[in-house]
Structure 1
Amino acid sequence: MDINQLQTFIRVSEFGSFTKAGEQSFISGTAVMKQINRLETELNLKLFLRTATGVTLTPQGKKFLPYVHQLLALLDTAIEETRKVRLDDKQVISIGTSILHPADPFMVLWRQLAPRLSKFQLRLVQLQEDLTSSNREYALLGRSSDLIVGTFDNTTLKQSFRAIKLGAYHFGIAVRSDNPLAQLDTIKFENLANQRLLTVPTGISEKNDQLRSEMLNTVSSIRMVETDGRYDINTFNRAVDENIALISLTPWKDIHPNLVTIPLETKITVPYGLISTKFPGRITDNFLNAFLQVFNQK
């Protein structure tokens, strides 16, 4: 039995569905079902009744549920209190960072505001790849890190996250340096006529969907090539290998040595900021409230 299994047990009890619980964790319904099956086997308990329309807690599951809530709350408290002791009573906030979600934009701001938030200590955490998740870095929030610096829109915030906006990223088109588009100072939609353009599928990013719609309404011959999900480093390798243009964002302009990113002429931008789970825990919540107060006074 591990923490992930207990967190999954709570989500399944809330949503009454392996699939819906998986969507909240960015894993498949099958992966959720396997976690629950393993938990029931290890505990020798029947926690859920499975039906064609969903799952419901058994009497054993109902008895077990409040204890799981207490156990996870106690663990959160233990971690928070231990962090205080370890670093001279400073409240430690872990910021996740990765190639696709660099913490740099926030760290520049933090150096300006840190003197007014002296009771907090930041700790950078390298986000590890979670191959079972369709949204790896976001799925790790609350597990390996308290916060990440990333993009968000209504689609993101509907999936159990909260965000403090720090600014906006701009769209660009990333191409191989030997691609004719790389010679342009800016790219207009017309420059992409008859081009293959690598992008995420619809439904993942509201802003990306708006951009796609604007592009195709202007130039119908643009051929959208969809990735399997959100970008990972292999997406950028694919753009190089296939010499295909790719919709990119500000923080990714130097992500690959063989790609050049040209600014795209569009008024659509993507907000970015500090992202946490909706219920991040007391210390993280205190930090976000204190940061927001100082940030608004800047």
Structure 2
Amino acid sequence: MDITQLQTFIKVSQYGSFTKAGEQSFISGTAVMKQINRLEDELNLKLFVRTATGTELTTEGQTFLPYVKQILGLLDTAIDQTRKSSFSEQNIITVGTSILHPAEPFMDIWKKITAQMSDFQIRIVQLQEDLHSQNREYAMLGRSCDLIVGTFDNTTLKQSFKAVQLGQYDFGIAVRSDNKLAKLSEISFDDLKGGSLLSVPMGISDTNDQLRRIISKDYPQIHIVETSGRYDMNTFNQAVEENIPLITVTPWKSIHPNLVSIPLKTDIHVPYGILTTKMPGRNVDDFILKLRKVLKLN
């Protein structure tokens, strides 16, 4: 058994297909199948049921899956912490980045203030989602990275996070490129009447809740389809596969090649900035304090 087999096992469980899992790893579906066959032989377990339309986890596979995720997560943390220990300096700040939480908004600012923050260094680390947490990548704060760049509001800050606001994102509506709404330069709620709209459930985001209340009160003709929680890549795939518009924000405008993001006509915006844990440690506290001073933030 090796790491590649375990990573492939997770991909097949996620995509339900040897072919699709292979596409994500840039190898053939046959190569993926061989890896899974070897893993099953070594474990003497049947992890997947092969069907004409794809694969499904067996009971054994479902039991095995969370342990594999935990093992790979611990390995990532071990590697990251080991790399940190190779630096003699104590002023290295790790910034997590991912498709859903890109670090670019902060890095654009960092390039302009590097000279004034010369006693700190930035390291970028790729985040993996913690699928066992309702806050997913937010849960990686303090574990895989010192800070991330993301949206926040009162709901988020109740979850043991601190935030330094850097700006605000705009809401948009992401639609499949062949949807009639894709031709619009701006979308209003009137344009969405009579159709469905994909959204996170109430209670996850204050700003999203504001949109939902407007829709509920003034636009009952819009049918809300709720996700199971915060967005992940499956949400954007669902929007494409079912041709359902979804509520999106600025950094996700190019997240899926088959989706077009159109600005939503609304006065509601989403604050974004640097997120840390409530008690990130002295080094991060010093970094945030100096950053506020350089940026002249309250």
TM-score (norm. length: structure 2): 0.71
Q: Is the 8 A contact 1:172 1:248 kept in 2?
A: yes
Aligned to 2:183: 183
Aligned to 2:284: 284
Kindly report which structure 2 residues correspond to 1:111-190, keeping only aligned pairs within 5 A, or say none: 111-190=111-190
User: What SS is found at the alignment partner of 2:272?
Assistant: strand
- What's the CA shift for 1:159? 1.0
Aligned to 1:101: 101
Aligned to 1:27: none
Identity %: 59
User: What SS is found at the alignment partner of 1:124?
Assistant: strand
Distance between the aligned counterparts of 1:182 and 1:254, measured in 2? 14
- What's the CA shift for 1:215? 2.4
Distance between the aligned counterparts of 1:90 and 1:141, measured in 2? 18
- What's the CA shift for 1:213? 0.9
Q: Which amino acid aligns with 1:132?
A: H
Distance between the aligned counterparts of 1:90 and 1:121, measured in 2? 9
Deviation string 1:265-292 (CA, Å, 9 cap, x unpaired) is: 0000000000000100110111000111
Aligned to 2:243: 243
User: What SS is found at the alignment partner of 1:148?
Assistant: strand
Deviation string 1:111-134 (CA, Å, 9 cap, x unpaired) is: 001100001010001001222112
Runs of 4+ in structure 1 deviating by more than 3 angstroms, as ranges, are 85-88
Deviation string 1:92-118 (CA, Å, 9 cap, x unpaired) is: 000000000000000000000110000
Deviation string 1:25-53 (CA, Å, 9 cap, x unpaired) is: xxxxxxxxxxxxxxxxxxxxxxxxxxxxx
Q: Is the 8 A contact 1:187 1:263 kept in 2?
A: yes
TM-score (norm. length: structure 1): 0.71
Where does the alignment leave 5 or more consecutive residues of structure 1 unmatched? Answer: 1-78
Kindly report which structure 2 residues correspond to 1:261-272, keeping only aligned pairs within 5 A, or say none: 261-272=261-272
Q: Which amino acid aligns with 1:208?
A: N
**Aligned pair count?**
219
Distance between the aligned counterparts of 1:115 and 1:266, measured in 2? 38
Aligned to 1:62: none
Q: Is the 8 A contact 1:170 1:270 kept in 2?
A: yes
User: What SS is found at the alignment partner of 2:138?
Assistant: helix
Q: Which amino acid aligns with 1:242?
A: E
Q: Is the 8 A contact 1:90 1:119 kept in 2?
A: no
Q: Is the 8 A contact 1:162 1:276 kept in 2?
A: yes
Report the CA distance shift for 1:116/1:88 in structure 2 as closer, same or farther (over 3 A): farther
Distance between the aligned counterparts of 1:134 and 1:89, measured in 2? 34
User: What SS is found at the alignment partner of 1:271?
Assistant: strand
Where does the alignment leave 5 or more consecutive residues of structure 2 unmatched? Answer: 1-80
Distance between the aligned counterparts of 1:164 and 1:129, measured in 2? 22
Q: Is the 8 A contact 2:90 2:283 kept in 1?
A: no
- What's the CA shift for 1:89? 2.8
Q: Which amino acid aligns with 2:157?
A: L
Q: Is the 8 A contact 2:175 2:240 kept in 1?
A: yes
